[in-house]
Amino acid sequence: MDAVQVATIREVLAGSEWLREARRFGGALRSSVSTQGGGLLLVGTETYEPWHLAAHLDDEAAWSGLPELSPTLVRHRVPRTAPAHLSVGLGRIEGAGRGETLLVVNGDGDPGDALLERLADARRSGATLLSLASGEASLEPVEDLAHDALCADDVLDLDTVQHLVSAAAGETPTPRPAPSAPRPRLRDRLSRLADHLTAPPASRW
């Protein structure tokens, strides 16, 4: 799915709760990695590795100028022939702590005790934990630990939700309008009115 397709989906979902939720969750992800600066760890389950989301977040990191959004993919099993950047195992989560963000993607069911124990330890050490899951997956064990969670349903599948979230994470936040100048106090306004009323008439031109 490319940027044009994502834009089309957003247009179809305009005004819907789903689009608001995806933008909220994507904003939470962006805010976490940009303010804490400790990096993003992306992990799936034993039989579901979120390669697609990893690639999209990497693209969004480049396009948005936010390198912290580029994830480190954490794998349950690391093949001997895997390159260095794809050789990060579950032990990395054990070392996660304050300033780091963990995004867990559950696409197929129970995340497993080994992962849950490591996630619980990382949260206790100060890491921020976010969770994405399919409607069929068992989200509750991770959701109980997560600071924020989003679950696909029968309207939007997990693949589509991941596209919306990654696009939202890469968006430049809309700047808040500058605060308007404070209104003069009543006493100041009355003083200016009195000055105006008592001033001599203006000379003719």
Question: Who wins on pLDDT, 9 or 40?
Answer: 40
Q: Residue 61 carries which side chain, given as an amino acid letter?
A: A
The residues, ordered by sequence, that sit 6+ positions from 158 with a Cβ below 8 Å of its Cβ are 105, 107, 132, 133, 134, 135, 137, 152
pLDDT at 16: 66
Question: Who wins on pLDDT, 87 or 35?
Answer: 87
Does pTM top 0.95 for this prediction?
A: no
Mean pLDDT computed over every residue of the chain:
79
Q: With beta carbons less than 8 A apart as the criterion, state whether 66 and 36 touch.
A: no
Residue 2 binned pLDDT confidence (cut-offs 50, 70, 90): low
pLDDT at 118: 92
Closest alpha carbon to 36 in 117, 175, 130: 130
**Separation CA 75–CA 100 (nearest Å):** 17
**Separation CA 58–CA 182 (nearest Å):** 43
User: Is 190 a residue whose pLDDT tops 90?
Assistant: no
Q: With beta carbons less than 8 A apart as the criterion, state whether 159 and 9 touch.
A: no
Q: With beta carbons less than 8 A apart as the criterion, state whether 118 and 143 touch.
A: no
**Which residues are registered as beta bridge partners of 104?**
43, 131
